[in-house]
Amino acid sequence: MNKKRFILKTALLSAFTAAVYFPASLATTMLLYQRKDPDIEVYVQENLEQIIQEQEKTLGITYPTDRPTIYYTLPEEYKIVGMLGLYRGGEDSMYLPSGILTNPESDFSDFMATIATFNNTYNVKRSVDHELAHFYCDKVKELVFQNRSPHFYFTDEELVSQLLVNEGIAEYVENKMNGEDEKPFSFQDWPSNLSQFRNKEIYQGGYAIVKPIIDQHGEKGIQFLLFNPPTLYELFTPEKYQERMLTSIAQLPEKTEPLFLPFRIQ
Ligand SMILES: [Zn+2]
């Protein structure tokens, strides 16, 4: 079953409308957020290098030699139902809520957790793939800006614009590495103002926006997107943004080294 972040959020909301049915599973979920699962820690430690290598091979990207620090519970303020992982760029840290994550080589206790939380668990490999993508993007930005990073978030619009690209790329990596090629997302009901952006638009929509660009241009596409998020106008016209990205990347000199793309082509 495809368990997406927004589904988990929905489950939380449902908890208030179906009060009789949900409390036990919700309580279990909350408890599991407090818990550290040693099996998940072992799985990640044993498989991290392989997961990175598989990403490099499948996506044609190159990770830096350093690795993120990994924690196996979320910071206290992020223990929110629906949070499946967190990456903090400043400290190069990946936080995994190991209590609610399940091992792909699933064991019985993970199976019970899935049932007891009413499906609020999530495959740890998917979370690692997703958070690693954030790590990769963060490192690319660091490399380009050489610790002279400008402020990325000036306005709410710019924040949403960055979120769309960042989460879109992370979702792309997560989906691609887990054999999922989602059906095209319809931009028909796309937000016409900022307050209409929800998890669904950021994650599923972001994924749909970046997909054709990364499908076609791989690492170069990812890096170009990172430095060229949607403009205010393009935020509400995602197809125009896709068009501009595809045209701009096609116009780059063929031998452009992926890491040294111009920041922004107007
Ligand atoms: Zn993310």
pLDDT in tens, 97-114: 998 888 877 666 777 777
Residue-level pLDDT at 259:
54
Q: What's the CA-to-centroid distance between 94 and ligand 1, angstroms? A: 11
Tell me the domain boundaries of the chain: 1-119, 150-266
Q: What's the CA-to-centroid distance between 167 and ligand 1, angstroms? A: 5
Overall average pLDDT of the 194-204 stretch = 92
Q: What's the CA-to-centroid distance between 20 and ligand 1, angstroms? A: 32
Overall average pLDDT of the 120-142 stretch = 90
**Residue 42 is which amino acid?**
V
Q: What's the CA-to-centroid distance between 160 and ligand 1, angstroms? A: 13
* DSSP label at residue 98: T
Q: Is 91 exposed, middle or buried (0-12, 13-18, 19+ CB in 10 A)?
A: exposed
Residue 7 confidence (pLDDT) above 50:
no
Instruction: Give the pTM.
Output: 0.83
**Distance (Å, whole) CA 167 – CA 131:** 10
Overall average pLDDT of the 14-35 stretch = 65
Q: What's the CA-to-centroid distance between 174 and ligand 1, angstroms? A: 10
Residue-level pLDDT at 121:
76
Overall average pLDDT of the 8-29 stretch = 54
- Residues within 5 A (CB) of ion ligand 1: 167, 170
